[in-house]
Amino acid sequence: MKAILAEKYGHPEKVLSLKEIPKRSPKAKEILIKIHATTINDYDWCMVRGKPYLYRLLFGLFKPKHSVPGMELAGAIEGVGPSVQKHKIGDQVFGDISNYGFGTFAEYICIDENAVITKPLELSFEEAAAIPHASALALQALKQTGGIQENQKILINGGGGGVGTIALQLAKLHNCHVTGVDSHEKLEMMKSLGFDSVLDYKLTDFTKTGARYDLILDCKTNKSAFSYVKALKSTGKYVTIGGEPWSLIKILFWSKLISLFASKKLQILSLRPNEDLDYICNLVKQDKIKCEIDGPHKLEDTAKLIQYFGEGKHKGKVVIQIN
């Protein structure tokens, strides 16, 4: 089978290659999935480069321990292990497999049966692949952690990416006023999706405008904890879903101290993969939210697409179609 291999750390276009590798047979509780679509995520950007260096404790100290990157898929089951109970051959499935491994930049994968769930037939493989990681982050950040309420004033830092575009649409279901922050190249797209106001992060620091928000969803975590506190209303909440490890550690540290003398909250989301995807899929089927797809692209273009993603040039979710 064809797969994208990362055999050492470095620039994506220098260390990634498309090669033929053996197709595995499923173990007792594994399923063999023919992958029709996959996506690019922060994990892939970090895993291929081995940066930030702290992540090498997870991905391998000197080279990637997962030679095939990729953590999100939609496909069809072509084989099952003897102990599999949840799925059968022919089932269409999708999901974020990061709790069980990596390897979706390939034509096939063997993975634990619990790593995926049944794909609604109404959704294309490309739509389904774009949903699990970004929508789970957006939903859990806004609802479970952020406690979103009707008519709130919300800011999304990184509003033009996969998480940001889904989060906007979820916030609009609660009639919220939503400000989006991203690069100049994405602002027109963001306006067309329904952001009430947009900010070019190179020109405007949203923490210094004087505006105060009920809820901030941060996909970047690139400012000081006290900057975020100043941008919140008296009982506002800040929720980050990712960023540089040391920035997250600082948020964690200061959040404890700030909670002692203020009602404002700084929180880091701990993602629960594939949770509440039925709810998201129903919204998609009802046309209440739409996956903003960058692509679909070809598997052989994966290296340059990861670089493109890392440079923040993508609009929505970068989807790769695997024929």
pLDDT in the model for residue 254: 86
Cβ neighbours, 10 Å, residue 193: 22
pLDDT band for 31, please (50, 70, 90 cuts). Answer: very high
Mind listing the domains of the chain with CATH numbers?
A: 2-131+291-321 (3.90.180.10), 134-268 (3.40.50.720)
Asked if residue 109 has pLDDT above 80, the reply is yes
* pLDDT of res. 245: 80
Other beta carbons less than 10 A from residue 143's beta carbon? 14
- 209-218 mean pLDDT: 97
Q: What mean pLDDT, rounded, does the chain reach? A: 95
**pLDDT tens digits for 144-195?**
999 999 999 999 999 999 999 999 999 999 999 999 999 999 999 999 999 9
Alpha-carbon gap, residue 231 to 178, rounded angstroms = 14
pLDDT tens-digit readout, 216-245: 999 999 899 999 999 999 999 999 998 888
HEC profile of the chain: CEEEEECCCCCHHHHEEEEECCCCCCCCCEEEEEEEEEECCHHHHHHHHCCCHHHHHHHCCCCCCCCCCCCEEEEEEEEECCCCCCCCCCCEEEEECCCCCCCCCECEEEEEHHHCEECCCCCCHHHHHHCHHHHHHHHHHHHHHCCCCCCCEEEEECCCEHHHHHHHHHHHCCCCEEEEEECHHHHHHHHHHCCCEEEECCCCCHHHCCCCEEEEEECCCCCCHHHHHHCEEEEEEEEECCCCHHHHHHHHHHHHHHHHHCCCEEEECCCCCCCCHHHHHHHHHCCCCCCCEEEEEEHHHHHHHHHHHHCCCCCEEEEEECC
pLDDT band at 42 (very low <50, low <70, confident <90, very high): very high
pLDDT tens digits, 50-82:
999 988 998 999 999 999 999 999 999 999 999
pLDDT of res. 159: 97
**What mean pLDDT do residues 27-47 have?**
97
Q: Rounded to the nearest 10 degrees, how much is the dihedral formed by the CA atoms of 42, 146, 74, 68?
A: 20
Q: What is the pLDDT of residue 323?
A: 82
Decide if pLDDT at 114 tops 90.
Answer: yes
**pLDDT for res 198:** 98
Phi-psi domain of 255 (left: phi exceeds 0; alpha: psi -120 through 50; beta: other): alpha
Total-model pTM = 0.94
- Please tell me the predicted confidence (pLDDT) of residue 256: 82
